[in-house]
Amino acid sequence: MTDPKLALDPHLVARARDLASRAGAPIVDLARRHTTVSVERATLRLGGLDGADEDGTPWVNRLTEAVAADLYADGGLAHGVSLPVWDALVRGEAGPSGDLAALARRAAAGRARFRLPEGPDAERAAEAARAAVGGGLDAIAVRRREREQLLAETGDAPRQPWIYLIVATGDIHEDIPQAQQAARAGADVIAVIRSTGQSLLDFVPEGATREGYAGTYATRENFRLMRAALDETSRELRRYVRLTNYASGLCMPEIAVLAGLERLDMMLNDSMYGILFRDINPVRTFVDQRFSRQVHARAGIIINTGEDNYLTTADAVEAAHTVTTSQLLNEYFAHEAGLEDWQLGLGHAFEIDPALPESFRLELSHALLARALFPDAPLKWMPPTRHMTGDVFRGHLLDGFFNLAGALTGQGILLVGMMTEAVVTPWLSDRDLALQNVRYVLEAAGNLHEDFHPAPDGFIARRAHHVLGETVDLLERVVDEGLLAAIADGTFGLMKRPADQGRGLDGVAEKAPDYLNPATEVLDGPTAARPVLQEVSR
């Protein structure tokens, strides 16, 4: 059902969703037929393997590499790591301790050997793998129940949109007090953005980190420290403060698992961001994305998609329909992976050139179209960046217009805009002023979106209908060409990314007939996320 404010043609909306599913279905089939090194490493993490060697290389990397080296003639990762790894444990290759960490150490030293077991040996290895990996999935379910319990104890944010603020100094021990103070100043969601370039690392750094570049490294220990600090602040404020990080890049599945184990609440997870803006191979990205979203579904994590990034490279008016197209594709991929509407923080942004006549009306039209198409999704509304000039007074005013658009169109997650965008990394005082701006607009506007009804044949409604029509036209072309071909042609964000190029392609493998992964067995099941929801509700 669409929002009556725009009176969108329901047949055209249904047509758009049908086309998105037709465009996305071959990608899902592709993802089902392949695995990646990061999916396999994520499975080992679910099985309990953690830590790193003295050089900082994670044991999951060491063990995966050893398995691939031993089985290269038989297809390497095409068979997955689960059967050979747990077969090695059953055979005593780990030594007296018999655990994954010991096996990884012995494998790295060349003192463990791997094989593809057959018959009863394969059955024993599969049973052991399922028990270990199932324990990791159960641990994620437990953390989800903890969130529900803490929400019941502290209460939730009193209204939407939730105020989303970025904190990332590079030093997790500096991030923590800044995040706590931001929550006290009104932030509902704290986002710790990652250090520049981490998405291109094919490993997850280990431990608490104190040196990052324009961000803080995403590590399990950093997740744990920030979650514990925000839990403390949530109890202090009697309001649950959510934590966000990034599940993207070459280690998307692993970071998703670590986020589930450490009870993060939101993760940046877009189907095409890594392809377009980090030149990661499309096949690698789609395989990793599906697995990571399945984990998010089980963990009760809200995803944030990255359509706003398209508008930093393409014109926000001319390319508006590419944003809507991507939102519909992201919705399809998310639903297929088990995510529910309340977990779909679909992205869009206030990026129209403010010098353009009627720019605010255009922004309202695009924002209202997203709200109409996805009425039950907590849409993530992104502030102006492309047309911030360094004039902090103009920027502060533009952020006020952005906040007002969010209030008028009922957005769910509102990222705080900074008047110093394009000048410096924000100071605490900048954040304080920006939060004052948001709070003033949201408190003054109240539930103004209830009263905002654009004229049925007016500028805002006509523009929304036009963008929807262009979206359907584009989706028809994507279905005809194939999504991979459309990405290669530069359809989204003007970036051309062929499917046979890009970073991480060498980490993709087509699954062999006897491939086994206990995690995907559970996550692909017909009720993959449902048992968790039932347990939470009891």
For residue 287, which of 19, 35, 17, 467 has the smallest C-alpha distance?
A: 35
- As to burial, measured by CB atoms within 10 angstroms (0-12 exposed, 13-18 middle, 19+ buried), residue 16 is buried
Contact call for residues 182 and 266 (beta carbons, < 8 A): no
Q: Out of 164, 265, 380, 515, pick the active-site residue.
A: 380
Domain 155-465 coded CATH 3.40.605.10: no
Mean pLDDT of the chain: 93
Distance, CA of 350 to chain centre: 20
Q: Out of 246, 273, 310, 515, pick the active-site residue.
A: 273
The DSSP-derived string for 300-326 is TPEEE--GGGHHHHS-TTTTHHHHHHH
Tell me the per-residue pLDDT of 351-404, one tens digit each, with 9 for 90 and over: 999 999 999 999 999 999 999 999 999 999 999 999 999 999 999 999 999 999
Residue 93 has a pLDDT of: 94
Contact call for residues 142 and 299 (beta carbons, < 8 A): no
Distance separating alpha carbons of residues 257 and 59, to the nearest angstrom? 15
> Is it the case that residue 406 has pLDDT exceeding 90?
yes
Compute how many other C-beta atoms are within 10 angstroms of the C-beta atom of residue 479: 19
Residue 531 has a pLDDT of: 40
For residue 137, which of 521, 432, 534 has the smallest C-alpha distance?
A: 521
Tell me the per-residue pLDDT of 460-491, one tens digit each, with 9 for 90 and over: 999 999 999 999 999 999 999 999 999 999 88
75 band by pLDDT with thresholds 50, 70 and 90: low
Q: Is 432 a catalytic residue?
A: no
Q: Is 273 a catalytic residue?
A: yes
Residue 526 has a pLDDT of: 63
Domain boundaries, the chain: 155-465
Q: Out of 231, 308, 399, 430, pick the active-site residue.
A: 308
Q: What is the mean pLDDT of residues 165-184?
A: 94
Residue 536 has a pLDDT of: 33
Percent of the chain residues topping a pLDDT of 90 = 86
Contact call for residues 407 and 441 (beta carbons, < 8 A): yes
